[in-house]
Amino acid sequence: MTQKGFDMADTMEEAERKIKKAVEITTQEFGSVRTGRASPALVERLQVDYYGTMTPLYQIATITAPEARLLVIQPYDRNSVGEISKAITQSDLGLVPTDDGEVIRMSVPQLTEERRHDLTKLVKTRAEEGRVAVRNVRRDAVEAMRHEEKRGEMTKDDLHRGMEDIQKITDKYIKEIDELMEKKIKELMEI
């Protein structure tokens, strides 16, 4: 058991909380990579210049997919239609917005084989970013434990046990990211 004031359980809980957040963000990133179907997740995190402040689209508009290949964006403020269209056009989504001054519509075209492969690479990149974030949390937790061991707040055995525990947590969530990546790639490659 640890000595004096260092609480390894708190360190582990904090690390796992941060790791879960990294996995959640990676999952959201995967959601923004489009497949052949229209989904509000494709654009909801898109940043729009809303009166000088970069704001996620979902905060300034309602996003719906009334058909399998159509996205409809209804801004809460009609004056933001132009900025929303501009943000969509400048994004890497490859979607072309059309608006009538009040509502923005986007047809989601069928993916070409080349575009599927490009999006697969993008998914793999986002997965690697997620894995790096998870490993960074592990590194920070290990550094905190080593620091406490040097200060005499925990024993070498506790340090070793803690490093094994944080590695198990890391492996579990990296496996989860890999599974999410494979699922998304399978989705992309479906015709």
Q: What is the CATH number of the domain that holds 59?
A: 3.30.1360.40
User: Is residue 5 pLDDT above 70, yes or no?
Assistant: no
Whether 3 is in a domain gets the answer no
Judgement on whether residues 180 and 120 belong to the same structural domain of the protein = yes
pLDDT at 114: 86
Residues 72-79 have a mean pLDDT of: 93
Number of domains in the chain: 2
Judgement on whether residues 118 and 182 belong to the same structural domain of the protein = yes
Residues 148-171 have a mean pLDDT of: 92
Residues 26-49 have a mean pLDDT of: 82
Whether 125 is in a domain gets the answer yes
User: Is residue 4 pLDDT above 60, yes or no?
Assistant: no
Judgement on whether residues 172 and 146 belong to the same structural domain of the protein = yes
Query: Is the overall model pTM greater than 0.75, yes or no?
Result: no
> How many CB atoms sit inside 10 A of residue 46's CB?
20
Distance CA 112, CA 103 (A): 28
Tally the C-alpha atoms within 13 A of residue 70's C-alpha that lie toward its C-beta.
Answer: 7
Element at 175 (helix H, strand E): helix 156-189
Residues 151-168 have a mean pLDDT of: 92
Judgement on whether residues 119 and 84 belong to the same structural domain of the protein = no
> What residue numbers bound the domain in which 126 lies?
8-31+112-189
Average pLDDT of the chain to the nearest whole number: 88
